[in-house]
Structure 1
């Protein structure tokens, strides 16, 4: 069954706010695994990626501040604990953290969505990717994207998407370096403006 799913997935395109240039999910996973292995050989052997728990909230909030991805006033610890409980009530929404030497150095969120179109094939949506500025360039982001792709592949997703602010050119170069091609547009509007 797993090999059949893997064969089906290998024929499907992948989008990461960018779309793989004809790459299959398996090809991208292998490419990221190779890059991740290189990172491990360069001192990242102690990197662990796991689901965040309530005990991780203070470190996660610190990472958001240090990485400057929480543009507004962030949650208090108590608010974040309550919000994490809400997120856990969703069928599949996880906040993952990357840990080195017992310190949270990276994070991303992953939602696996069921779809009505495309014969119900699932899709993955990655949000709030961050690596602590002092740990950037060490393979942590690549390892997290490898982890996200693995999660999507296990869930039989036909694609994984993310968006990136137009101003974050370093992030765009990072996603380009993973083999993703820019694809489409992302639109947003404040609900109070309509």
Structure 2
């Protein structure tokens, strides 16, 4: 799953393009993934990096499901970002599969480097490779900067989302 980038560097802070790769996450990546999930105001209210047990159990479920692609982006040999890509088979759209991008996070040291764009481009390409006809994502209503980012990449705000906490 390692995918070298072919694009040119987009800023002086970004390492050379050939140093970018995406790989399947392993159990050893859990602490770094959770730290990235918790590294903003919203994530800090939902994540508990001091207790990795629930994350390990969730990782085992994700890793066992062939429709789940929890990945790590690396730059210069360092963990720089993560996302989870889920392929959802369905009957709508003539039995088409769709892809769902979740939990996109870029390590604080790499924000603004173009890595987020490269990681989402990887997810879109992988969605096509998985024969999905649509890729979708959600973003918390408070993440206005993220909304602009996704719109720049061609995503359109098309639905009103609803959630119901069960626990």
TM range (shorter): 0.7 to 0.9
Q: Which runs of 5+ in 2 are unaligned?
A: none
Matches within 5 A, 1:1-194: 37-39=7-9, 43-45=15-17, 46-68=19-41, 69=43, 71-74=45-48, 76-191=51-166
Looking at structure 1, the residues matched to 154 and 92 of structure 2 have their Cα atoms a distance apart, in angstroms, of 27
Structure number with bigger Rg: 1
The CA RMSD over aligned residues, in Å, is 2.2
The TM-score, its normalising length taken from structure 2, stands at 0.83
Q: Which runs of 5+ in 1 are unaligned?
A: 1-32
Matched-pair contact (CA < 8 Å) for 2:124–2:135: yes
Matched-pair contact (CA < 8 Å) for 1:112–1:122: yes
Looking at structure 1, the residues matched to 9 and 55 of structure 2 have their Cα atoms a distance apart, in angstroms, of 31
The ranges of structure 1 where at least 4 consecutive aligned residues each deviate by more than 6 angstroms after the TM superposition are none
Is the deviation greater in 119-128 or in 101-110? 101-110
1:139-170, Cα deviation, whole Å (9 max, x unpaired): 11111111111111011101000011111111
Matched-pair contact (CA < 8 Å) for 1:44–1:139: no
Looking at structure 1, the residues matched to 54 and 140 of structure 2 have their Cα atoms a distance apart, in angstroms, of 26
Q: How has the CA–CA distance of structure 1 residues 124 and 70 changed in structure 2, closer, same or farther, with 3 Å as cutoff?
A: farther
